[in-house]
Structure 1
Amino acid sequence: MVPGNEPLRLLLLPGLDGTGALFEPFLEALSGDIAPEVVSYPADRALDYDALEELVAERLPADGPYALLGESFSGPLALRLACRRPGELVGVVLVATFVTNPVWLVPSLARHLVGPWLFRRRAPAFVSRRYLVGAGATAAWIERVAANVATVDPAVMAARVREVLSVDARALLQRCAAPLLYLGAAGDALVPPRVLRELRRLRPDLESVTVDAPHLVLQLAPEASAQATEGFLRRAAALPRSAAPGCPGGL
């Protein structure tokens, strides 16, 4: 995929739980053309997007081509990282994510009401099926997601929700010069179709692929997700490097 037949490094930034543990099905579906590197966030420290950006920036390769994938919560973070000194960044994959608060029923002002109490008990199975894993998900998947969330301090989870409710990465999306792919889920009850419409309005050159899956598209449709991601990255890596230099001047 890159000159010299070396696999392309792909840094994966996880969803709200921040552990990266749920990427496993997607990692298994990737071919040898991709060298994935999962980034995890502290489970016991409530870091906002500013602090997470500084933390993850240390993981950006100093040399050689690479790509970024931002899942859900991490979409705005991927755009932040793409808009600083990105080295040989060849592309950014945005997965079931957003640039402004996607939950229109919960206004940004409600972030002050979001607290650790929301995550001190496991979410009921019907909530997980409705918003994360889909109606047809097995009990094993519901348990896997719940057990993963339970490894994170409830205060940290609540802080990340507050970040989502107040985020505005529209300017970053417009400034980012790297090729962009939006990988969406047709059955996503958390990130509605209007989000993709808004992203396309802001970035007419945005590529998009919609997979028949719930919000956790990388986990529940790993083969289709891997195929879409690798196809995009092959095209992006073939572009002259000057065509995708990242955003000048940083944030």
Structure 2
Amino acid sequence: MPAPLRLLLLPGLDGTGALFAPFLEALPADIAPEVVSYPADRALDYDALEALVAERLPADGPYALLGESFSGPLALRLACRRPGGLVGVVLVATFVTNPVWLVPSLARHLVGAWLFRRRPPAFVARRYLVGAGASAAWLERFAANAETVDPAVMAARVREVLTVDARALLQRCAAPLLYLGAAGDALVPPRVLRELCRLRPDLECATVEAPHLVLQLAPEESARAVEGFLRRAAGRHGG
């Protein structure tokens, strides 16, 4: 019986990976997830995070990468850095350039720790992250998790997002790519996926009825989409 396929999961803006739990529970036994967490007390840019996570990449055997939101560009960096046993890359509700047109890159210097010292109002979290139908328990879970990260670190990551440009990496990535999008995503608009498809016409796409936190709030549907993609990609890689 073949060994389970290793799947390294790179988390969203909070960097903790703690919110992956519902998705991990939905994955089949032949996928072995490994959550990578980022330092909660150190503001590392994409270059530093790439060096940090590169140490976790398997030296041998097949594996796959999943980059959620903030970590999509990072997953592409790693895919281009060490493609050896890489079976495929899953990009989840993410982007290759600044997705927030209301906040241009020139505004990065206005983004400071003050933005994250208080919990966002519930209506903001529902609008952009967890959806209108999210329970109070999920709102609390999301907010409490974000509070474990230094506000200055969160602000630094937002500044990285505002100036990122991973378009060349997307085009250079040799591994099969899946974009898992959320139909109700108000944070990463549909134009982002259109741009990704223009840059990579072979990009495989799957859309789930969910808000931005698609892995957390539609874990079963997300797991099915990821599982199907990885099975196809592994078959091509092994064949």
CA distance in 1, matches of 2:170, 2:126: 30
CA distance in 2, matches of 1:59, 1:166: 26
2:45 equivalent in structure 1: 48
Tell me the CA shift for residue 33 of structure 1: 1.2
Tell me the CA shift for residue 87 of structure 1: 2.3
- After TM superposition, the structure 1 stretch with the greater mean CA deviation from structure 2, 95-104 or 84-93, is 84-93
**Cα pair 1:68 1:78 within 8 Å, conserved:** yes
**Cα pair 1:185 1:213 within 8 Å, conserved:** yes
- After TM superposition, the structure 1 stretch with the greater mean CA deviation from structure 2, 82-91 or 182-191, is 82-91
CA distance in 2, matches of 1:105, 1:122: 21
Counting matched residue pairs gives: 234
- Extract unaligned runs of 5+ from structure 1: 1-6, 239-249
CA distance in 2, matches of 1:47, 1:118: 18
TM norm structure 2? 0.97
CA distance in 1, matches of 2:86, 2:21: 24
Per-residue CA shift, 1:194-248, capped at 9, x if unaligned? 000000000000000000000000000000000000000000000xxxxxxxxxx
CA distance in 2, matches of 1:156, 1:210: 30
**Cα pair 1:129 1:135 within 8 Å, conserved:** yes
- After TM superposition, the structure 1 stretch with the greater mean CA deviation from structure 2, 11-20 or 78-87, is 78-87
Tell me the CA shift for residue 161 of structure 1: 0.1
Q: Say which SS state the counterpart of residue 83 (structure 1) adopts.
A: helix
Tell me the CA shift for residue 62 of structure 1: 0.3
Tell me the CA shift for residue 85 of structure 1: 1.9
CA distance in 2, matches of 1:181, 1:85: 18
Per-residue CA shift, 1:95-122, capped at 9, x if unaligned? 0000000001110000010000000001
2:156 equivalent in structure 1: 159
Q: Say which SS state the counterpart of residue 42 (structure 1) adopts.
A: coil
Q: Say which SS state the counterpart of residue 165 (structure 2) adopts.
A: coil
**Cα pair 2:83 2:174 within 8 Å, conserved:** no
Percent identity reads: 90
**Cα pair 2:180 2:206 within 8 Å, conserved:** yes
CA distance in 2, matches of 1:79, 1:115: 27
CA distance in 2, matches of 1:117, 1:85: 37
**Cα pair 2:11 2:17 within 8 Å, conserved:** yes
Q: Say which SS state the counterpart of residue 136 (structure 1) adopts.
A: coil
1:19 equivalent in structure 2: 16
Tell me the CA shift for residue 84 of structure 1: 0.7
**Cα pair 1:12 1:68 within 8 Å, conserved:** yes
Q: Say which SS state the counterpart of residue 81 (structure 2) adopts.
A: coil
2:170 equivalent in structure 1: 173
TM norm structure 1? 0.92
Root-mean-square deviation (Å) = 2.3
Per-residue CA shift, 1:16-46, capped at 9, x if unaligned? 0000000000000000010000000000000
1:77 equivalent in structure 2: 74
Query: Which of 125, 147, 150 is equivalent to 1:150?
Result: 147
Instruction: Tell me, yes or no, if structure 1 residue 9 matches structure 2 residue 6.
Output: yes
Q: Say which SS state the counterpart of residue 195 (structure 1) adopts.
A: helix
CA distance in 2, matches of 1:86, 1:55: 17
Instruction: Tell me, yes or no, if structure 1 residue 195 matches structure 2 residue 201.
Output: no
**Cα pair 1:61 1:87 within 8 Å, conserved:** no
**Cα pair 1:9 1:67 within 8 Å, conserved:** yes
Q: Say which SS state the counterpart of residue 67 (structure 1) adopts.
A: strand
**Cα pair 1:66 1:88 within 8 Å, conserved:** yes
Tell me the CA shift for residue 90 of structure 1: 0.3
CA distance in 2, matches of 1:12, 1:85: 16
Tell me the CA shift for residue 86 of structure 1: 2.6
Per-residue CA shift, 1:138-173, capped at 9, x if unaligned? 000000000000000000000000000000000000
